Structure 1
Amino acid sequence: MRRFQPPSILPLALALCLPQLGHAETLVVNSYGGPYEAIIRKAIIEPFERKTGIDVVYDAVGSASQDYAKIKATNGHPGFDVVVMTASQSLQGCRDGVLDKLDVTTIPNLASLTASLQAVAGPCGAVHEVQYMSLLYRTDKLASAPTSWGDLLRPDLDGKVVLPTFQNIMAVYLLEMMSITEGGGLIDDIDPGFAAMARLAKHSIGFEQSSAILESYIKDGTVWAMPFWSGRAQLLVDEGMPVDYVRPQEGTIPLIATLNVPVGAEHKAAARSFIDFFLEKTSQEAWVAGYKVGSARVDIDVPEGLRRRQITSQEGFTSLKLPDLTVLGDKLSEWGGRWDRDVVSQAR
Structure 2
Amino acid sequence: MKKIISVALVLGLSTSLAACTSTGADAGSGGGDVVVVEGYGAEYETLFRENIAKPFTKETGIKVEYRGGGSGAETYAAVRAANGDPGFDLGIMTHLELEQGHQDNLLARVTEKQVPNLANVPQKLKEHTNGVGAIQEVQQVCLMYNRDAFPKPPTSWDVMWNPKYRQGTLIFSPSNALGVYSLLTLADMGGGSSNNMGPAFKRTEEMAKYALATPTSSSEAVPFMAKETATTFPYFDGRAAIYAKTNNYDFTVPKEGTYANLGALGVPDGADHKGNAFKLIDYWLSKEVQERWALAYNVGPAVTSLTFPAAFAAKHVTTPEQLDKIKIADASTVNDNRNEWQQQWQEAVR
TM-score by length of 1: 0.88
| 1:233 maps to amino acid | A
- 1:222 corresponds in structure 2 to 229
Separation in 2, partners of 1:30, 1:296: 20
Contact 1:87–1:122 (CA under 8 A) maintained in structure 2 = no
Residue 92 of structure 1: SS of its match in structure 2? helix
**Corresponding residue of 1:4:** none
Matched, 1:192 2:188: no
Equivalent residue in structure 1 for 2:273, among 253, 267, 271: 267
- Contact kept in structure 2, 1:153 and 1:200, CA below 8 Å: yes
Question: SS of the counterpart of 2:45?
Answer: helix
Question: Number of residues paired by the alignment?
Answer: 321
Query: Which of 149, 166, 169 is residue 174 of structure 2 equivalent to?
Result: 166
Structure 1 residues 32, 178: CA separation in 2 closer, same or farther (over 3 Å shift)?
same
Q: Which residue of 1 aligns with 2:47?
A: 39
The one-letter amino acid of 2:155's match is T
Which residue number in structure 2 is paired with residue 328 of structure 1?
334
Whether contact under 8 Å (2:285, 2:302) holds in the other structure is: no
8 Å CA contact 1:288, 1:302 repeated in 2: no
Instruction: Map 1:236-315 to 2 at 5 A.
Output: 236-237=243-244, 239-315=245-321
- 1:73 is aligned to 81
Give the distance between the partners of 2:86 and 2:222, measured in 1 at CA. Answer: 30
3-state SS, counterpart of residue 31 of structure 1: strand
Deviation for aligned residue 1:99: 0.8
Match of 1:344? 349
Would the aligned equivalents of 1:81 and 1:266 in 2 still touch at CA under 8 Å? yes
Structure-1 separation of matches of 2:218 and 2:88:
23
When residues 125 and 216 of structure 1 are mapped into structure 2, their CA distance, relative to the original with a 3 A threshold, is farther
**Residue in structure 2 matched with residue 108 of structure 1 by the alignment:** 116
Cα deviation digits, residues 124-178 of structure 1 (max 9, x gap): 1201000100000110233553211111111122321122222101111111111
**1:318 corresponding residue in structure 2:** 324
CA distance in 1, matches of 2:194, 2:88: 34
Distance (whole Å) between structure 2 residues aligned to residue 125 and residue 214 of structure 1: 31
CA contact (8 A) 1:136 1:233 kept: yes
Question: Which one-letter code corresponds to 1:160 in the other structure?
Answer: G
Q: CA deviation at 1:80?
A: 1.1
Equivalents in 2 of 1:211, 1:80: separation in Å? 26
The percentage of aligned residue pairs carrying the same residue is 32
Asked if 1:55 corresponds to 2:71, the answer is no
CA distance in 2, matches of 1:194, 1:71: 32
Do structure 1's residue 134 and structure 2's residue 142 form an aligned pair? yes
Q: Does 1:147 align with 2:155?
A: yes
Shifted more, 296-305 versus 138-147: the winner is 138-147
* Higher fraction of helix: 1
Q: Contact 1:129–1:294 (CA<8 Å) still a contact in 2? A: yes
Helix, strand or coil at the partner of 1:311: coil
The residue type equivalent to 2:159 in the other structure is D
Give the 3-state SS of the residue equivalent to 1:208 in structure 2: coil
Q: Choose 48-57 or 158-167, whichever is displaced more.
A: 158-167
Question: Using the alignment, how far apart are the partners of 1:242 and 1:344 within structure 2?
Answer: 28
The answer for unaligned runs of 5 or more in structure 2 is 1-24, 26-31
- One-letter amino acid of the structure 2 residue matched with residue 268 of structure 1: K
Can you list the C-alpha shifts for 1:267-295, whole angstroms capped at 9, x where unaligned? Answer: 11110000000000000010011111101
Shift of 1:337: 2.0
Normalising by structure 2, we get a TM-score of 0.88
Partners of 1:190 and 1:166 in 2: CA distance: 13
**Residues 118 and 296 of structure 1 are in contact (CA less than 8 Å); yes or no, is this contact kept in structure 2?**
no
Distance 2:91 2:104 in 1: 16
CA RMSD, 1 decimal: 1.7
Residue type matched to 1:114 in 2? P
Verify the 8 A CA contact 1:48 1:277 in the aligned structure 2: yes
Identify if the C-alpha distance between structure 1 residues 145 and 155 changes in structure 2 by more than 3 Å, giving closer, same or farther. farther
Work out whether 1:28 is the aligned partner of 2:33: no
Q: Distance in 2 between matches of 1:189 and 1:165?
A: 18
Q: Confirm or deny: 8 A CA contact 1:150 1:181 kept in the other structure.
A: no
**Which segment is superposed worse, 35-44 or 101-110?**
35-44
Q: Give unmatched runs, 5+ long, in structure 1.
A: 1-19
Q: How far apart in 2 are the matches of 1:176 and 1:73? A: 29
CA displacement at 1:69 relative to structure 2: 1.2
Mapped contact 2:300–2:318 kept (Cα < 8 A): yes
CA–CA distance in structure 1, aligned partners of residues 287 and 271 of structure 2: 26
Structure 2 residue matching 1:57: 3-state secondary structure: strand
